[in-house]
A and B are shown apart, each in its own frame.
Chain A
C-alpha cells in the first residue's frame, strides 16, 4: 500500500469540498490525508454488536415551535454583509444548471 494518495484522489475530495488547492497543497495533502484516512480506518477493526446509533447525546425529544411569526431583517441590514449585492438581491455569477 502506498503511503500517499494519488493526485487524482486528492483533487476528488477537494472537489467534493469545493476547495481549490495549489500544487504545493496537493502535494502536502497527498501525504497528510493518507495519514488521517489510515488512522480513521482503525474503526473497521472495532467489533460492535448493537446497531443502535447515537445521533445526538440528548434524551429529550424535540419540542416544536408554534406557527407564529417573529421578527425579520431589513433587506438593507442583510446586504451589509453580502459581498456582491444588487438592490434587494444577492448577486452571484450565473448559476449554470438552470
Chain B
C-alpha cells in the first residue's frame, strides 16, 4: 500500500480586504442583514455595467508579487458562463487568458526540508452570492455577490498531506501579513479546494477534487482519507470516478457531490465591458512599497535576537503584536524580555479587554522604559503585573506610577545584606544543601528573600550578594 504516490494540487480562493466590491461601489462587508450591501450592479440588473475597484488591482498585484509571479502588464477580464442561482449575471467575471500573475512559487518547509511549490497562476474574480438551503427551497443573499477574490492555483507539486498543509498555512501567513485578506477559513474568506490522485507509476491517476475544506487540519485529514479511498478502489481493480467531493468532518470521510461532466463548458470569452488594464512600473513600485516584512523574515529576525522558535511563532500568529515588536528591533532593548512580556501579561490583558495593543496607552517610550527596567532588575515581574493596568490605561510614565504606588526597589546593598543574613540564619538546611553542591537550593533562598522584601528587592543584586555570602 505504501508504494502509491500521492499527487496534490491546490486551488485557494481568498477574499480581498477592500472597502467596496470589485465591480460595484457597494460595501464589501460580512454578516450584515441579508441583501443590504447590494446595488443594481451586484444584482445583475438589465443595463448595468461593471466598474473596477483600484484597490482590488493593488491587492491582487501585491499577492502576485509575494508569490514571485510574472506580472501580466496588460491584462483583461473574461466571462465564465454558467447558470446557477447564486450567479446573478449568468456569468462570472474572471481572468482566464491573462491572469494578473503566472509562474510563481511559494517556499514551504516540512520536517526541516525546504521545497518550492510552483504557482501556476493567480487571477482576479468576483464572488457569487450566498445561499442557504431549507427543505425544498434555497434562499439567496447577494451581500457576497461581487466581493473581490483572488484564486491561487498551484502546479500538482505536493505529495503528502504535510506538504499540502504546510502550503496552505504558508499562503495564509503570507496573505495575512501582507494585509491582503483576513484569511479566515472558518468564515469563508479563504477557501481551499484540493485535487488529489494516487498512482504507483509516473503516470498520474484519475484525480478527485475535494471542495471547500473548512480548516487547515482538515486539508490533511481529507487528503489522507481520499488517498485511502482511492488506493482501496485501485487495489480492488476498480476505477476512480472523475468527480467532486466534500470532506465530512463528522464521519472523517470524503463524500461525492457530483460526477464532473467531460470538459465543463464554461464558454469563456473576453469581457467586452472592461477595457485592458495597464499595470505599469509606477504601480508595481508603489505596491511593492506596501509589502511589509513577511512572516518568515520576522521569524528569522526574532530568533537571531534569541527568541525561541515557539515564542517567535506565537508572536507571528498575532500580526499586530508582531508589528508592535518590530518597532523595537533596532532600539537595543532585550527582545527576549520584550517578547516574554508581550506574550505573557500584556497578551492576557489584551485578550481580557479585547483591545488591540496600539489602542492602549503603552507608548513606545513606556515600553522601552519597562523592558530596560526589567532587564536591569529595577522592576520585577510581580510588580510589573501589579501595575500593568495602570501602564496600559493611563498616560502617566513608568516612573510616576512606581513612585505613586510607593513601590521602592531595594537597591541598597547594606539593607539587602541585613535581610540576606537573616534568611541564611533561618534556613541553615538549605545553606547546607547549597554548600554540598546542590546549587538549586539558592533558588529557594532567593524566594525567601523576595518574600521578606515583599518582592521589592532587585533580584540581580540579591543573587550576586547571596552568592557572595554563601561562598564566604
Contact = CB atoms under 8 A, between A and B. Distances in A.
The reply to whether A and B meet directly (CB within 8 Å) is yes
Interface string B16-36: 001110001111000001111
Contacts of A71: 39
Contacts of B141: 88-90
B33 A62 contact: no
A55 to B, nearest CB: 4
Given A78-B43, A88-B35, A65 B137 contact: no
A93 B36 CA distance: 22
Contact of A72 (B19, B38, B277): B38
B241 interface: no
Contact of A94 (B24, B76, B135, B275): B135
Contact of B272 (A55, A68, A69, A73): A55
Categorize the interface residue count of chain A: 35 or more
Contacts of A20: none
A92 B38 CA distance: 18
Interface string A47-72: 00000010110101110111111111
A95 interface: yes
Point out which of A64, A65, A70 has the most chain B C-beta atoms below 10 A from its C-beta: A65
A94 B134 CA distance: 8
Contact of A90 (B18, B39, B83, B140): B140
A63 B136 CA distance: 44
B57 A64 contact: yes
B330 interface: no
Interface string B124-136: 0000000111011
A86 interface: yes
Q: Interface SS of chain B: helix, strand, loop or mixed?
A: loop
Interface string B150-179: 000000000000000000000000000000
A49 to B, nearest CB: 21
A13 B18 CA distance: 39
A97 B137 contact: no
Interface stretch (B46-54, B321-329, B409-417, B463-471): B46-54
Categorize the interface residue count of chain B: 35 or more
A84 B464 CA distance: 82
Contacts of A97: 84, 257-258
Contacts of A62: 52, 274-278
B20 A67 contact: yes
A56 B275 CA distance: 7
A82 to B, nearest CB: 9
B55 interface: yes
Q: Interface SS of chain A: helix, strand, loop or mixed?
A: loop
A78 B27 contact: no
Interface string B272-290: 1111111000000000000
Nearest to A60: B275
A61 B276 contact: yes
A92 to B, nearest CB: 5
Contact of B38 (A18, A53, A73, A87): A73
A69 B52 contact: no
Point out which of A62, A68, A75 has the most chain B C-beta atoms below 10 A from its C-beta: A62
B138 A70 contact: no
A24 to B, nearest CB: 24
Given A67-B18, A92-B137, A92-B138, A73 B275 contact: no
Contacts of A72: 26-27, 36-39
B86 interface: yes
Contacts of B25: 65, 68-70
B85 interface: yes
B275 A61 contact: yes
Contacts of A70: 20, 24-26, 39
B34 A58 contact: no
A46 interface: no
A96 to B, nearest CB: 9
Contacts of B138: 91-95, 98
B365 interface: no
Contacts of A64: 51-54, 57, 277
B125 to A, nearest CB: 16
Contacts of A61: 275-278
21 contacts: A55-B76, A60-B275, A62-B277, A65-B53, A67-B18, A68-B25, A69-B19, A69-B25, A70-B20, A70-B26, A72-B26, A72-B37, A86-B137, A92-B137, A92-B140, A93-B138, A94-B135, A94-B137, A95-B131, A95-B133, A98-B131
Kindly list the 7 A-B residue pairs having the minimum CB-CB distance in the complex, ordered from nearest.
Answer: A70-B25, A64-B54, A67-B55, A89-B139, A90-B140, A88-B34, A55-B270
